[in-house]
Structure 1
Amino acid sequence: MPTTEQLLDNGQGVIDPDVFFKMNSPPANLKDFETKLEQFVDYHQEKKTRLVFITSGGTIVPLENQTVRFIDNFSNGHRGACSAEYFLEAGYAVVFMHRQFSLQPYHRHYTHNPSIGFLDYLVQKDDNIQVDQQYNDKMKTVLSNYQNAIKNNRLLLLDFVTLSDYLFKLKSGTRILARLQENAMYYLAAAVSDFFIPSEKMHEHKIQSGGGALTLTLDQVPKFLTPLVSVWASKGLIVSFKLETDVNLLVPKARQALTRYGHQVVVANMLSTRKQTVTVITKSSQQVLSLTPEDIAHHVEIESRIIPQLVHIHDGWISSGATKACQQ
């Protein structure tokens, strides 16, 4: 097999996306992933339902082939899980492809809470377990919404762990959803690693300590948004995210991404204010969405403002696709 250095794309130091898939093995559960997704998509294609494919949470980068240590990021999947609920409210079917054990829609209200654990919501009366009365009304609403989504086959939960898992499932998933054409939206909220260690460069076994400092050299992850936009999901509405810590880079980098990859929307936000303010950027528009102090006091979530804006953009995208079809 050729080495990584022999497979670099155009001398730019970046592996071509197609080559990445040849160098790595697909996840063991990819076939099961595809079967579940195909059944879900077929169901909603028949019903002509709009569908959003949400990616959520962070990807891990193994340091050993038999992985003990890995590189991770801080994402717990809040934005994706929260957004899924608002898309369901807006009438979409949702494929939620999330990092294993990260936040999930509806479940998120009772997990990952630093001040109260799930069992603290429950009380025991005689031999019965009940929800503590102070939490009953909210939990009843959340449970009802979750059960309705599952009962009506409008929410499909799929997971990934490593960077390689994510990329194989992203490629496969977007190609399956492509049959929905303009009715599909791709909401790429996962925090995907920018760098990785190719399998050929990894230690096979656990890296042993006691040998002094550890030096790692990581390769850049291929830019998978390019084939996603141009090949895998060319007719869908594609929404990417841009997170920055320097406010002066935020909008220029978002617009640079739109120009470079040719997709439709970037949701840009600063690390420090990502839960209060975002900027939704298209080629022809720029909309700042912010929560007021009163909103924050009433626990309004910024995703409740993001999703209606994206639904409006999707309306226009679908209309423009129908117009083009009539003109052909």
Structure 2
Amino acid sequence: MDYTRHHLPPPTRRLSTEGGPVIDRTIPLLPPALEIDEHNFFDNSDPPEYLEDLIKETEEFVKFHNGRRIALVTSGGTTVPLENQTVRFIDNFSAGTRGATSAEYFLENNYAVIFLHRQFSLQPYSRHYSHATNCFLDYMEEQDGKVVVGPKYQAEMISVLRKYQAAKDKNLLLLLPFTTIVQYLHTLRAVSEALQPAGCRALFYLAAAVSDFFVPPSRISEHKIQSKAGGNQLKMDLDPVPKFLTRLVDKWAPSAMIISFKLETDSTILLSKAHQALERYSHQLVIGNLLQTRKYEVVFVEPNSPEFWIRLSDRQAKDQVEVESLIIPAVIERHNAWIKKSDEMAKDS
């Protein structure tokens, strides 16, 4: 695949009130979480009740695919509950499109995939027919008292079905759910540790939209917050979610290749934010993208390398080519290099 480098697109305006920015996105990133931050967060938040089952499933999956490359793809947004018996919560903008689409291309390139996803968000293969403009019933029609797929959808649906069945028959896809930020982080840590036997053949593709702030358990309301509790306003203090990416790199999955995403709405700070993340958290690749153009272009930011843009051509955009079909081969090239380097270091040690 031939990729070309491009200059950053024209700047976009920041959202503002009275002519000023709503929030200053140029401020530095939060510092990496330390070991004490890890203990404070996980010791003071309950893991999901089903976590032990997920760990067992992951361990069996990793053992089954011994020697095969495994991609852990995180996808969808995390919620921040405002009550223990949750009625209200803060959510992230993400349907899981990038994660679900990318997972399919990893599977087509002979990876096994652990898909850590927001419950009810888009999933590989079914994404083509869920959350779509058409109701799924629009694809169906009745013939002789039986429900069948309409003729104009047959070819596409057969192709998707065959890919799904192949992944299922070969046990290549493991689906693991989360909903809240606490569930996500507990599961990410546990699954990362279960993936350690895969070593450098494990790839972390962190496409989930992870909440930046949360309500600590010690301050969360047990019951539904009453509408008149705060008079005419609802005021809440939220704490920053610790930045556990460094813990993932150094402790939870020290041999794996780690890829994170940086989404911005302001093109003037995209590259600086991506470089800050790379330098601060010491992983291998940041994929930057703008909210407005994320379906058509991304930029790779790597240590000791120039920025590398991947863009759909006008023809590709018109033909509805998915940009993930270009992203994943480029990611795999880098994973190849990571494995080769890791294997060489292992031989020399």
Q: Give the TM bin, normalised by the shorter chain.
A: over 0.9
Q: Which amino acid aligns with 1:239?
A: I
Which residue in 1 is equivalent to 2:44?
23
- 1:100 matched to 2:119: yes
Q: Which amino acid aligns with 2:283?
A: H
Mapped contact 1:51–1:185 kept (Cα < 8 A): yes
SS in 2 for 1:272: coil
Name which of structure 1's ranges 65-74 and 208-217 shifts more when overlaid on structure 2. Answer: 208-217
CA distance in 1, matches of 2:190, 2:208: 16
Which residue in 1 is equivalent to 2:199?
181
Which residue in 1 is equivalent to 2:87?
68
- 1:246 matched to 2:266: yes
CA distance in 2, matches of 1:227, 1:21: 13
CA distance in 2, matches of 1:158, 1:264: 24
Alpha-carbon shift at residue 284 of structure 1 (Å): 2.1
Which residue in 1 is equivalent to 2:334?
313
Query: How many residues get paired?
Result: 315
Q: Which amino acid aligns with 2:93?
A: F
TM-score by length of 1: 0.94
Q: Which amino acid aligns with 2:328?
A: I
Give 1:251-266 correspondences, 5 Å limit: 251-266=271-286
Q: Which amino acid aligns with 2:224?
A: K
CA distance in 2, matches of 1:171, 1:291: 35
Structure 1 unaligned spans of 5+: 1-8
- 1:85 matched to 2:104: yes
- 1:157 matched to 2:178: no
Alpha-carbon shift at residue 125 of structure 1 (Å): 1.3
Q: Which amino acid aligns with 1:200?
A: S
Which residue in 1 is equivalent to 2:151?
133
Which residue in 1 is equivalent to 2:69?
50
Q: Deviations over 1:203-222 (max 9, x none)?
A: 11000113321011110001
Alpha-carbon shift at residue 126 of structure 1 (Å): 2.3
Mapped contact 1:17–1:223 kept (Cα < 8 A): no
Q: Deviations over 1:233-252 (max 9, x none)?
A: 01100000000111121111
CA distance in 2, matches of 1:227, 1:304: 30
Alpha-carbon shift at residue 281 of structure 1 (Å): 1.3
- 1:292 matched to 2:313: yes
The CA RMSD over aligned residues, in Å, is: 1.5
Which residue in 1 is equivalent to 2:20?
none
Runs of 4+ residues deviating >6 angstroms: none
Which residue in 2 is equivalent to 1:207?
225
Higher relative contact order (CA 8 A, sep 6+): 2
Alpha-carbon shift at residue 202 of structure 1 (Å): 1.2
Alpha-carbon shift at residue 189 of structure 1 (Å): 0.3
Residue of 212, 215, 219 corresponding to 1:194: 212
Alpha-carbon shift at residue 129 of structure 1 (Å): 0.8
